[in-house]
């Protein structure tokens, strides 16, 4: 069985061979611990269905800098571009220098416009809330626009002063911006908003979800956040009227269609805590999505167990990733929880259509945690648990597959 590339079909679906070549970045810091623990699980789950992954290691982050002098070598981007699907551990953020964040750079270069963050509860995981099992949400966070586009001018810079002068020409409140301000621009486009909401709706249809909530701050930021909401509803009418309906168009009674509703971001952060069962798929702008996904992750076990994927559903590119950082104080100690990168792999398997193997991994994780076999982060919150090393946790999952 030769190793082959994953390719994109004309209809936008992926063609996945039984031995796909998948580039991976081990990651800095605790990447050396979590990656091998996760790979054991991925290989065992794939083998169960007669499949094998031809892993191809590529470099990024501190490791890449030390070996090649570049934080994000062109070969790495080319591998992700060429093989379509990849997975990565956490990366050290370079301090100073040209790159703000390697993760943001990868997302922008490959135009991975959806940051997909499923948030659900795994039985046995310690949680700070009373009914964590009610949390089952999938967040579609816009990944290329908003204040994350990096359009900022430093206070006092020549560019900031020029922009202030230009803005002053508009008069009124534009002329009243304090001269000692730093400036940031928040672009939110029709294109960026509609493709994000389209991805969320297509996901909801494919996965039998009941509602899509557009989360925004449109009461204050009318022409960016408010527009995102309006364009979302517009898209429902234009492209999804047979399967979905906006709240105002059905008085909140969607029948058997998917209900599309909207919610202001600040109240959403309250309601995901007080009535999580009201939220299913969430589509939101970049900054809201950033806050919301980490706040939600806390309800179901924290960042040690929260996975993520960055996807362009049109080109077929996807990079799945652990959402926590490199946790340098634990690096090389074979201690931290590998679940975030393992569950990122589960998302990758689902994306490849390897749904049985993905479900098997989830069941094996639940069985392992259910048996009280956990890494330090959960052990300190549970009574009577057996604390194991990162590698032992990986093996314990693989054995239960
Ligand atoms: P961090 O690496 O996420 O670590 C913060 C804390 O989260 C750790 O001290 C630990 O908590 C917990 N944690 C992290 N990974 C864990 C795991 N696998 N299992 C269990 N607990 C885990 O954040 P940071 O210390 O702020 O950032 C360190 C570096 O990572 C920085 O260079 C940062 O820029 C980078 N970073 C990268 C990414 C990414 O690549 N996706 C994301 C965020 C940050 P306790 O101390 O309570 O045990």
Residues with CB under 6 A from ligand 1: 30, 34, 90-93, 103, 303-304, 321, 323-328, 336-337, 340, 377
- d(CA 2, CA 232) in angstroms, rounded, equals 44
Q: Is 201 helix (H, G, I), strand (E, B) or coil?
A: helix
User: Ligand 1 centroid to 327 CA: how many Å?
Assistant: 4
Contact 58, 119 (CB under 8 A): no
- d(CA 350, CA 340) in angstroms, rounded, equals 15
Each residue of 351-366: pLDDT tens digit? 999 999 999 999 999 9
- Minimal-distance CA residue to ligand 1 atom 36: 325
Give the largest CA-CA distance in the chain: 69
CA distances for 279 relative to 129, 181, 226, angstroms: 16, 38, 20
Nearest atom in ligand 1 to 337's CA: 19
User: Ligand 1 centroid to 83 CA: how many Å?
Assistant: 28
User: Ligand 1 centroid to 390 CA: how many Å?
Assistant: 15
Q: Which of 37, 29, 31, 30 is nearest to 373 (CA)?
A: 37
| pLDDT score of 97 | 60
| pLDDT score of 99 | 67
| pLDDT score of 96 | 63
Nearest atom in ligand 1 to 101's CA: 34
Contact 283, 140 (CB under 8 A): yes
**Model's pTM, two decimal places?**
0.93
- d(CA 238, CA 256) in angstroms, rounded, equals 18
Q: Is the pLDDT confidence value at 198 over 90?
A: yes
Nearest atom in ligand 1 to 328's CA: 28
In sequence order, what DSSP letters do the residues of 311-377 get, joined into one string?
A: E-TTT--EEEEE-S---GGGTTSS-S--HHHHHHHHHHHHHHT-HHHHHHHHHHHHHHHHTTEE-HH
CA distances for 394 relative to 111, 323, 335, angstroms: 32, 18, 11
Nearest atom in ligand 1 to 329's CA: 9
Nearest atom in ligand 1 to 27's CA: 40
Average pLDDT, the chain: 94
Q: Which of 59, 326, 336, 389 to mutate to test the pocket of ligand 1 (most atoms within 8 A of CB)?
A: 326
More confident residue, 5 or 95: 5
- Minimal-distance CA residue to ligand 1 atom 40: 90
Q: Which domains does the chain have, with CATH numbers?
A: 1-114+308-401 (3.40.718.10), 128-149+188-299 (3.40.718.10), 152-185 (no CATH)
Q: What are the tokens at 376?
A: 């330090």
User: Ligand 1 centroid to 324 CA: how many Å?
Assistant: 5
Q: Is the pLDDT confidence value at 301 over 90?
A: no
Q: Which of 90, 112, 379 to mutate to test the pocket of ligand 1 (most atoms within 8 A of CB)?
A: 90
User: Ligand 1 centroid to 31 CA: how many Å?
Assistant: 11
Contact 141, 126 (CB under 8 A): no
- Minimal-distance CA residue to ligand 1 atom 48: 377
* Percent of the chain's residues with pLDDT above 70: 99
Which parts of 110-226 fold into alpha helices (H)? 158-168, 172-175, 190-206
Each residue of 21-58: pLDDT tens digit? 999 999 999 999 999 999 999 999 999 999 999 999 99
Residue positions annotated with a catalytic role: 148, 217, 266, 290
- d(CA 155, CA 182) in angstroms, rounded, equals 4
Q: Look up tokens 């201690």; give the residue.
A: 335
């Amino acid at each position: 069985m030769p190793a082959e590339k994953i390719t994109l079909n004309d209809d936008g679906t992926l063609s996945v061979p039984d031995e796909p070549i998948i580039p991976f970045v081990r990651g800095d810091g605790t990447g050396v611990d979590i990656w091998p623990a996760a790979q054991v699980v991925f290989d065992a789950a794939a083998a169960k269905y007669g499949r094998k992954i031809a892993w191809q290691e590529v470099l990024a982050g501190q490791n890449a800098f030390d070996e090649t002098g570049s934080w994000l070598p062109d070969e790495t981007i080319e591998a992700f571009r060429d093989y379509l699907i990849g997975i990565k551990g956490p990366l050290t953020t370079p301090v100073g220098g040209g790159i703000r964040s390697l993760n943001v750079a990868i997302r922008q270069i490959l135009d991975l416009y959806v940051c997909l963050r499923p948030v659900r509860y795994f039985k046995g995981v310690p949680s700070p809330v009373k009914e964590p099992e009610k949390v089952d949400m999938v967040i579609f966070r816009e990944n290329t626009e908003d204040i994350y586009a990096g359009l900022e001018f430093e206070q006092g810079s020549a560019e900031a002063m020029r922009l202030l002068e230009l803005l002053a020409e508009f008069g009124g409140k534009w002329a009243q911006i304090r001269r000692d301000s730093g400036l940031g621009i928040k672009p939110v486009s029709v294109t960026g908003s509609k493709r994000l909401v389209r991805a969320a709706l297509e996901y909801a249809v494919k996965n039998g979800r009941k509602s899509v909530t557009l989360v925004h701050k449109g009461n204050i930021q009318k022409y960016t956040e408010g527009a995102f909401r309006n364009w979302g509803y517009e898209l429902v009418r234009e492209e999804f009227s047979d399967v979905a309906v906006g709240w105002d168009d059905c008085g909140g009674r969607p029948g058997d269609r998917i209900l599309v509703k909207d919610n202001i971001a600040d109240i959403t952060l309250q309601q995901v805590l007080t009535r999580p069962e009201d939220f299913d798929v969430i589509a939101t702008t970049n900054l809201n999505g950033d806050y919301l996904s980490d706040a939600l992750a806390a309800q179901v076990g924290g960042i040690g167990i929260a996975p993520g994927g960055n996807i362009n559903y049109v080109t077929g590119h996807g990079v799945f990733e652990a959402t926590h950082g490199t946790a340098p104080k634990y690096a090389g100690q074979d201690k931290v929880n590998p679940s975030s990168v393992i569950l990122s792999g589960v998302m990758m398997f689902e994306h490849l259509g390897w749904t049985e193997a993905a479900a098997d991994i989830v069941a094996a994780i639940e069985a392992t945690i259910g048996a009280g076999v956990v890494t330090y982060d959960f052990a300190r919150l549970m009574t009577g648990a057996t604390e194991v090393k990162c590698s032992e946790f990986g093996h314990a999952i693989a054995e239960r597959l």
